[in-house]
A and B are shown apart, each in its own frame.
Chain A
Amino acid sequence: MTAHDVTQIILAFLAVGAMAPIVGRYLAWVFTSPRIAVERWIFRAIGSDCDREMGWREYATTLLVSNGVFFAAGYLLLWAQGHLPLNPRHLAPLTPEVTFNTAASFVTNTNWQAYAGEAQLSNFSQMVPIVFLMFVGANTGIAALVAILRGFTRAGASTVGNFWDDFFRFFVRAFLPSCLLLGLVLVWQGCPQTLATSVVAHPLEGGTQTIVMGPVASLESVKNLGTNGGGFFNANGAHPYENPTPFSNMLEFLAMMVFTSSLPFLFGRLTRRPRQGWALFAVIMVLYGGGLAVIEKSEKAPNPLLAAANVAQASSSLQSGGNTEGKEVRFGITQTSLFTNTTIAATTGAVDAAIDSMLPSSLMVTFSHMWLNEEPGGKGVGFAGLLKEAILAIFLAGLMVGRTPEFLGKKLESREIKLAALALIVTPLLVLGLTAVGVTTTVGTSTIDNPGPHGFEEVLYAFSSGNANNGSAMAGLTVSTPFYADSIAVEMLLARYLPLLPLLALAGSLARKRTHPETAGTLPTDTPLFVALLLGFMLMVGLLTFFPALMLGPILEQLSLLHGVSF
């Protein structure tokens, strides 16, 4: 690694470390202060009584029904693309399975793309159904998290808040303003923001070239701030219109982290335990940083196959060195590693390099991030997942201090464990189950591009990404077939709502309980020891669940690579 690489990484961490506590504080204000005028107008307009507190069941029902309506609206608008305005290119509607997949994908904050952005969607479709679903998907995640956090802040309460209140507070005071700001900055950096559909270029070699464009900057800002993913163009996030400069690359990286990394501090503020916020932030950053270290090291190292062919791959001032296949030269290895690690860890899914071309050891990191999905994970749901892991870890090890385990004064009893365990099982069920179907049926294996473990990874990646509501694709697998489009669509919906329901129920159960005062006999949950315990638990359970898949995928491929075998 050169000094430049180190500086970039340190700057990135400093930026996140400085930003997260401040944004967390701001969000705490958003959710606890009186309503501002805009919010009052919205509530008056929609005629909803947002002062009425909801129990967890009503909260969950409202969340599900509203998301169902969002999904249906998105589906209809995409389906009717041919009859809607701003479609001068007369693009046809998507196939039914891809429409279903896309609506499911964007409402669940996955933003997996079974379609090719600029080639298949009109500017109207990009601006209305896609951006609308991006907004509501991210908002829903944050609202759900705030309700879950109330489980810890309340005692003897039968309610967990009002869904619409939480939904619009975040939208009005945090999400929308930040999107507007980032959109403008991206326009300044060179992102197009226009209703025109294309521009004709006259390249030096003569002739003309038609380059598609549209309202890119606005979509890009929502895409990154909402950890959505699902870019305007089919290529990937390194497209010069999506990501024109290294500065925009850095901004997009920070946009992905800004809200997700601040959630531990929101938690710390709301529970009045700032140290607890720092402890959970530390857990996130250790996993995040560990992943970054492995990707950076793997991609910087020479490819063993090329090394055997005597190719100079060392990093120097004249060349970036390392594994440059599938990477954008403008960004280099370190910017790409930072971006990739962040986009996977924060479940954005917008990549600026080809995941398929990364070394298997880097792929191990992307898999681990998607399976744990909590470092920091998607908008709201990632941190909610981390709280679930904390509850299970505290229960398992907390008994060893000789008390019924407690988390922030709430006793963890059979109901809590049942709900947390239910949420824990969803990931292995969907990822392992669907991958097993994918690699053993003809409909699944027929569209795999590569043989051996690499082909296995492609299927595993698709289902891991769908389950994580991540949306990044490894490529190498054709996923627009009915089998993959439908199965991944259903998977995204299940992965989004199945764990969320038990976690909301958990919040309902915790809010009802009384809060026990802490004593010297209570397990401390804001110490380095606790950070180590939680990390150990997460890695252990993750490893035990996915080690066989990891072994037959990236581990086998990496070991084969060292023996000169590639797939």
Chain B
Amino acid sequence: MKKNDQIRSETVIGAVRQSFVMLNPVKLAKNPVMFIVEVGSLLTTVLAVRAAVLHTGEVLFSSVISLWLWLTLLFANFAESLAELQGKAQAESLRTTRAETFARLVVGTDVRRVSGSSLKKWDKFLLSPGEIVPTDGEIIAGVASIDESAITGESAPVIREAGGDRSGVTGGTRVLAGEITVVVAANPGETFLDRMIALVEGATRKKSPNEIALSILLIGLTLIFLLVVATLPAFASYAKVESDPVVLIALLVCLIPTTIAGLLPAIGIAGIDRAFRANVVAKSGKAVEVAGDIDLLLLDKTGTITFGNRQAVQLLPAQDVSREELARACRLASLHDPTPEGKSTLTLAESEEGLRGEAGLPERLEPVPFTPETRMSGADTSDGAYRKGSEDAIESYLGTPLPPIVREAVSGIAQSGGTPLVVVRDRKVLGVIHLKDIVKPGLTERFERLRRMGVSTVMVTGDNPLTAQAIAREAGIDDFFAKARPEDKMALIKKEQDKGRLVAMSGDGTNDAPSLAQADVALAMNSGTQAAKEAANMVDLDSDPTKIIEVVEIGKQLLITRGALTTFSVANDVAKYFAILPAMFVASFPQLGVLNIMKLSTPVSAVTSAIIFNALIIPALIPLALKGVRYRPVGAAALLRRNLLVYGLGGILVPFLGIKLIDMALTFLHFS
């Protein structure tokens, strides 16, 4: 996928336009904090006009405060619009790829050519090589090789076929080879991409549970500050000081948490957008958020932790057999074996023997393919009959038990979690091939990162416990569940959930669907079946099961950003008090001048500086809100210490500096 990492100028222009549209009070009412700012802006505007007409009060001061209050609103609106338009641009860039497609619709026995956008759920259509897939669907007949680079960016074609767990096709991809029949998965406007676009658009976006809780806290704080500012004129009047309504409004806006209230929608949208940049389509904001809370990650062994096929890693010769002899036997026995195991044995044997291709082959060579009955494969040659197979298959082929040394090698391999294959020539045991599951590189480090954040990992496999344990140890997995049947996975999830843990998993098959629905965070593979995609709350366009780890980190980053900016916003208030309160009372009580610890030049400049800082901090923090606070897998205690220092202590100190600098600039401009 094309990544829009840079913010395009048309997005910015659109966001600016949108910022003004969003001033509509009906729209703003859903964000009570910003709604209060709007009421304050209107009031100060009225006061400024009144001062100008009636020649009462300071026109310039009221106008400047009013102007900056409007700017505060526009900056907040801009943050939300920008996040929204950026996300939309991402999603739209995908949607355009399927604009002008057509489909060969199957109606009874007829085939009709219709526009791709007219396809409805359950419609069936045909696809031939070279055609663009018009919409998301599931293959019900045939097999095809498909180029998914338009959505995944991966150029290697993938195989999709009916009946299995890899039957899903996505709109916008191209068929390279094969004829397939596809049933449409979703009505127009309801595909994953459509849902994603709707999600980033404010209109349909629902606040996530944590966002709601935070909004409640912000409203609570706002109510407290409303009380503080509303009672201040009464206290002041007892002290025989008259309060300027413009200053009171300025104080209120400075105190209520405008920074976080203004950036909160943008942070949420940006989180969904970050998931999307990782090619994960989330069905709701909640899904991304819950990912941060995960305690336990269920991972399938095959395909997720290991490459999914066993590879030969070692050849162990029997007594009185040379390495070359064994390697040659392995090569001959595997020359016509198309399985991954066979291919890897061939590769290993060739490198041990130093011979390739036709070199050194016997005159006559007849391949003996693997059959379920013999459970062996090999070749009959002029040199003899070569066979390789499992321990018991070979034993029944030989009719005698294996020699003790070979038996020892076999059990050694089995105990280490590998699979032994015994190689014979004309009933003589030559040695053993050590086949092993290969753990994907880089996983161990990722699991370690997860562990430091308190997420434990469980591997689910149909293998025997011995093999499972070996792989789990090698990959750095915390726990494993061996000899698992598909229904066991569901039971495991429920059991862990009853213990109070939140469980995440990825899956693609129809038999994964119930578990995906049960898990708290479920990532379905885009290549998977429709049932799996429906049951999950996220879909990975790259069909990479390990992507779930990235999703967990994105969820955590979303919550961290929200918490950091809230803390920062509230901590900012201290400095604003020290700017505005002395300014309000120093004329009547010069002794209070000592509270003006920033030594701001005049009361007018002090109030103005505070309100300008309060407005400017919003655009200053937009990049952080959109990119997210950097996530570090260092454990909760260390993370809290660091973030408290940066956003808590920093939040107290930064505005002192900022307000002082603005005051100096205002003094320089003779505005005081």
Interface residues of A (CB under 8 A from B): 155, 392, 395-404, 409, 411-414, 416-418, 421-422, 424-425, 428-429, 432-433, 435-437, 439-440, 445, 452-453, 455-456, 514-517, 519-524, 527, 529, 533, 536, 540-541, 543-545, 547-549, 551-552, 555-556, 559-560, 562-563
| Number of residue pairs spanning A and B whose beta carbons lie under 8 angstroms apart | 214
B67 at the interface (CB under 8 A from A): no
Of B220, B585, B591, the residue contacting A563 (CB under 8 A) is B591
Cα-based distance from A424 to B217 in the complex (angstroms): 10
B559 at the interface (CB under 8 A from A): yes
B239 at the interface (CB under 8 A from A): yes
Interface centre among B224, B498, B594 (most CB of A within 10 A): B224
Question: From residue A446, how far is it (CB to closest CB) to chain B in Å?
Answer: 13
Cα-based distance from A111 to B259 in the complex (angstroms): 43
30 pairs, CB–CB < 8 Å, chain A vs chain B: A396-B570, A397-B563, A397-B648, A399-B559, A399-B560, A400-B567, A401-B563, A412-B213, A414-B209, A421-B216, A424-B220, A439-B235, A440-B237, A455-B238, A516-B500, A516-B502, A519-B456, A522-B636, A524-B636, A529-B640, A529-B641, A533-B640, A540-B570, A540-B574, A543-B574, A544-B570, A544-B577, A552-B236, A555-B595, A556-B591
CB pair B453 A521 closer than 8 Å: yes
A413-B640 in contact given A548-B581, A552-B239 (Cβ < 8 Å): no
Closest 6 CB pairs of A and B: A399-B563, A521-B454, A519-B454, A402-B556, A421-B220, A436-B234
Cα-based distance from A401 to B293 in the complex (angstroms): 10
B491 at the interface (CB under 8 A from A): no
Chain A residue at minimal CB-CB distance from B552: A402
Contact bitstring B270-295, A, C-beta under 8 A = 1, else 0? 00000000000000000001101101
Of A523, A545, A559, the residue contacting B640 (CB under 8 A) is A523
Residues of chain B lying within 8 A (CB to CB) of residue A455: 238
CB pair A517 B224 closer than 8 Å: no
CB pair A433 B231 closer than 8 Å: yes
Residues of chain A lying within 8 A (CB to CB) of residue B577: 543-544, 547
Question: From residue B257, how far is it (CB to closest CB) to chain A in Å?
Answer: 10
CB pair B501 A517 closer than 8 Å: yes
Chain B residue at minimal CB-CB distance from A439: B238
Contact bitstring B84-111, A, C-beta under 8 A = 1, else 0? 0000000000000000000000000000
Question: From residue A425, how far is it (CB to closest CB) to chain B in Å?
Answer: 6
Question: From residue B376, how far is it (CB to closest CB) to chain A in Å?
Answer: 48
Residues of chain B lying within 8 A (CB to CB) of residue A529: 637, 640-641, 644
Cα-based distance from A523 to B640 in the complex (angstroms): 8
Residues of chain A lying within 8 A (CB to CB) of residue B221: 421, 541
Please tell me the number of chain B residues within 8 Å of chain A, measured between CB atoms: 74
> Which secondary structure dominates where chain B touches chain A?
helix
Cα-based distance from A244 to B255 in the complex (angstroms): 50
Residues of chain B lying within 8 A (CB to CB) of residue A552: 235-236, 238-239, 585
Cα-based distance from A224 to B631 in the complex (angstroms): 52
Question: From residue B467, how far is it (CB to closest CB) to chain A in Å?
Answer: 28
CB pair A396 B566 closer than 8 Å: yes
CB pair A396 B217 closer than 8 Å: yes
Question: From residue B193, how far is it (CB to closest CB) to chain A in Å?
Answer: 28
Interface centre among B231, B562, B571 (most CB of A within 10 A): B231
B145 at the interface (CB under 8 A from A): no
B573 at the interface (CB under 8 A from A): yes
B133-155 residues with Cβ-Cβ distance < 8 A to A are none
Cα-based distance from A396 to B216 in the complex (angstroms): 12
Residues of chain B lying within 8 A (CB to CB) of residue A155: 500
Cα-based distance from A520 to B449 in the complex (angstroms): 11
Contact bitstring B551-584, A, C-beta under 8 A = 1, else 0? 0000111011011101100110110010001000
Residues of chain A lying within 8 A (CB to CB) of residue B212: 414
Question: From residue A540, how far is it (CB to closest CB) to chain B in Å?
Answer: 7
Of A398, A515, A516, A563, the residue contacting B563 (CB under 8 A) is A398
Interface centre among A527, A548, A563 (most CB of B within 10 A): A548
Residues of chain A lying within 8 A (CB to CB) of residue B525: none
Cα-based distance from A416 to B214 in the complex (angstroms): 11
Cα-based distance from A446 to B403 in the complex (angstroms): 111
Interface centre among A403, A429, A529 (most CB of B within 10 A): A403
Cα-based distance from A392 to B640 in the complex (angstroms): 16
Question: From residue B48, how far is it (CB to closest CB) to chain A in Å?
Answer: 25
CB pair A404 B640 closer than 8 Å: no
Residues of chain B lying within 8 A (CB to CB) of residue A560: 589, 591
CB pair A524 B639 closer than 8 Å: no
CB pair A400 B560 closer than 8 Å: yes
CB pair B451 A520 closer than 8 Å: yes
A417-B216 in contact given A424-B224, A556-B589 (Cβ < 8 Å): yes
Of A521, A541, A543, A548, the residue contacting B232 (CB under 8 A) is A548
CB pair B292 A456 closer than 8 Å: no
CB pair B644 A409 closer than 8 Å: no
Residues of chain B lying within 8 A (CB to CB) of residue A549: 231, 235
Cα-based distance from A436 to B235 in the complex (angstroms): 6
CB pair B585 A521 closer than 8 Å: no
B603-652 residues with Cβ-Cβ distance < 8 A to A are 631, 635-637, 639-641, 643-644, 647-648
B424-482 residues with Cβ-Cβ distance < 8 A to A are 451-456
Chain A residue at minimal CB-CB distance from B211: A414
Of B232, B502, B557, B581, the residue contacting A402 (CB under 8 A) is B557
Contact bitstring B216-247, A, C-beta under 8 A = 1, else 0? 11011101110110111011111100000000
Interface centre among A399, A425, A517, A524 (most CB of B within 10 A): A399
Chain B residue at minimal CB-CB distance from A404: B293
Residues of chain A lying within 8 A (CB to CB) of residue B589: 556, 559-560
CB pair A556 B592 closer than 8 Å: yes
B416 at the interface (CB under 8 A from A): no
Chain A residue at minimal CB-CB distance from B451: A520
Contact bitstring B186-230, A, C-beta under 8 A = 1, else 0? 000000000000000000000001101110110111011101101
Residues of chain B lying within 8 A (CB to CB) of residue A425: 220, 223-224, 227
CB pair B452 A520 closer than 8 Å: yes
Cα-based distance from A389 to B589 in the complex (angstroms): 35
Cα-based distance from A543 to B574 in the complex (angstroms): 8
CB pair A548 B235 closer than 8 Å: yes
CB pair A400 B220 closer than 8 Å: no
Could you list 9 further interchain pairs (A-B, Cβ under 8 angstroms) beyond the known A400-B564, A516-B500, A523-B637?
A: A392-B217, A397-B640, A404-B289, A417-B216, A519-B455, A520-B452, A529-B640, A536-B648, A555-B592
Of B500, B502, B592, B637, the residue contacting A409 (CB under 8 A) is B500
Question: From residue A372, how far is it (CB to closest CB) to chain B in Å?
Answer: 14
Residues of chain B lying within 8 A (CB to CB) of residue A397: 563, 567, 640, 643-644, 648
CB pair A517 B209 closer than 8 Å: no
Of B237, B451, B559, B592, the residue contacting A403 (CB under 8 A) is B559
Cα-based distance from A429 to B585 in the complex (angstroms): 23
Residues of chain A lying within 8 A (CB to CB) of residue B209: 404, 413-414
Cα-based distance from A516 to B643 in the complex (angstroms): 24
CB pair A433 B227 closer than 8 Å: yes
Cα-based distance from A404 to B556 in the complex (angstroms): 9
CB pair B592 A396 closer than 8 Å: no
Cα-based distance from A541 to B220 in the complex (angstroms): 11
Cα-based distance from A396 to B643 in the complex (angstroms): 12
Chain B residue at minimal CB-CB distance from A547: B577
A402-B231 in contact given A421-B220, A519-B295 (Cβ < 8 Å): no
B670 at the interface (CB under 8 A from A): no
Cα-based distance from A399 to B238 in the complex (angstroms): 42
Cα-based distance from A421 to B213 in the complex (angstroms): 11
Cα-based distance from A230 to B33 in the complex (angstroms): 43
B55 at the interface (CB under 8 A from A): no
B462-520 residues with Cβ-Cβ distance < 8 A to A are 498-502
Chain A residue at minimal CB-CB distance from B631: A402
Cα-based distance from A522 to B326 in the complex (angstroms): 55
Residues of chain A lying within 8 A (CB to CB) of residue B210: 399, 404, 413
Of A412, A452, A519, A551, the residue contacting B595 (CB under 8 A) is A551
Question: From residue B497, how far is it (CB to closest CB) to chain A in Å?
Answer: 9
Cα-based distance from A244 to B585 in the complex (angstroms): 47
